[in-house]
């Protein structure tokens, strides 16, 4: 193996190691912070409220479950981990982790260390990338979400229509029986019933 090839292999190995280390640190940072899960829940809540007026026969909780099924949190979590790992170096991610673990020193860690300042410089672009991809996934999965909600909504409406029809039929039949009974009673009172006439 020539020196040029050996150098390229070493560079590639180092890059992959750094990428793997960044991913481990990104995963750690994502998992210790609950803010991203809260943001995911807020986005799902907003989507649920947008769909709710269009699906009167579907409960809000059912709409939320459909959205979470089509765009699951774990998928968005993994997307965030990959994006942070791609944008940030392990030492920058580690600075954020140290700041999270040491609230009293967090400002000093992020503002007064090279890796902390570098993290602050890059994190907003990384988070924008995550958010844009999240919104793109919601738009991409919208046909599947709407199809699932249509199925639930139509099934409920068909069931309600069948129940209303059955109730109307029952009422109509009951009304006929009521009229017949009244005619029968009237014929007895006026002596027109065959048995009354024979007496």
Q: Total domain count for the chain?
A: 1
Q: Domain residues for 134?
A: 21-160
What pLDDT, in 10s, does the model give residues 118-154? 999 999 999 999 999 999 999 999 999 999 999 999 9
Tokens 């024979």 found at: 198
Q: Considering the domain boundaries, does residue 3 fall inside one?
A: no
Q: Considering the domain boundaries, does residue 62 fall inside one?
A: yes
- Whether residue 67 contacts residue 163, with contact meaning beta carbons closer than 8 Å, is answered with no
- Closest CA relative to residue 45, chosen from 29, 70, 26, 63: 63
33 SS3 class? coil
Q: Considering the domain boundaries, does residue 31 fall inside one?
A: yes
- Who contacts 107 (Cβ-Cβ below 8 Å, separation ≥6)? none
- Quote the radius of gyration of the chain (alpha carbons, Å): 34
What single string gives the DSSP state of each residue in 154-173?
Answer: HHHHHHHHHHHHHHHHHHHH
- Who contacts 78 (Cβ-Cβ below 8 Å, separation ≥6)? none
Q: Considering the domain boundaries, does residue 143 fall inside one?
A: yes
Helix then strand then coil, in percent of the chain rounded to 5, is 90, 0, 10
Q: What is the pLDDT of residue 80?
A: 94
Q: What is the pLDDT of residue 10?
A: 40
Q: Considering the domain boundaries, does residue 182 fall inside one?
A: no
What pLDDT, in 10s, does the model give residues 154-168? 998 876 655 555 555
Q: What is the pLDDT of residue 11?
A: 37
Q: What is the pLDDT of residue 122?
A: 96
Q: Considering the domain boundaries, does residue 155 fall inside one?
A: yes
Q: Considering the domain boundaries, does residue 183 fall inside one?
A: no
Q: Considering the domain boundaries, does residue 10 fall inside one?
A: no
Structure tokens at 87: 């944008």
Low-confidence ranges of the chain (pLDDT < 50): 3-18, 195-199
- Closest CA relative to residue 62, chosen from 50, 72, 52, 76: 52
């Amino acid at each position: 193996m020539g020196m040029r090839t050996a150098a390229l292999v070493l560079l590639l190995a180092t890059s992959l190691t750094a990428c793997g280390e960044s991913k481990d640190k990104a995963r750690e940072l994502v998992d210790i912070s609950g803010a991203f899960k809260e943001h995911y829940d807020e986005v799902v809540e907003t989507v649920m409220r947008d769909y709710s007026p269009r699906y009167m026969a579907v409960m809000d909780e059912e709409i939320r479950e459909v959205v979470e099924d089509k765009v699951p949190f774990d998928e968005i979590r993994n997307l965030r981990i990959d994006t942070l790992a791609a944008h940030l170096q392990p030492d920058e991610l580690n600075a954020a982790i140290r700041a999270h673990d040491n609230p009293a020193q967090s400002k000093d860690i992020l503002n007064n260390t090279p890796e902390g300042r570098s993290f602050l410089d890059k994190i907003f672009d990384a988070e924008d990338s995550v958010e844009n991809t999240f919104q793109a996934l919601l738009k991409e999965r919208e046909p599947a979400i709407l199809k699932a909600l249509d199925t639930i909504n139509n099934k409920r409406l068909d069931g309600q229509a069948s129940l209303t029809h059955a109730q109307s039929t029952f009422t109509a039949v009951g009304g006929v029986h009521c009229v017949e009974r009244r005619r029968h009673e009237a014929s007895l009172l006026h002596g027109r019933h065959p048995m009354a006439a024979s007496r």
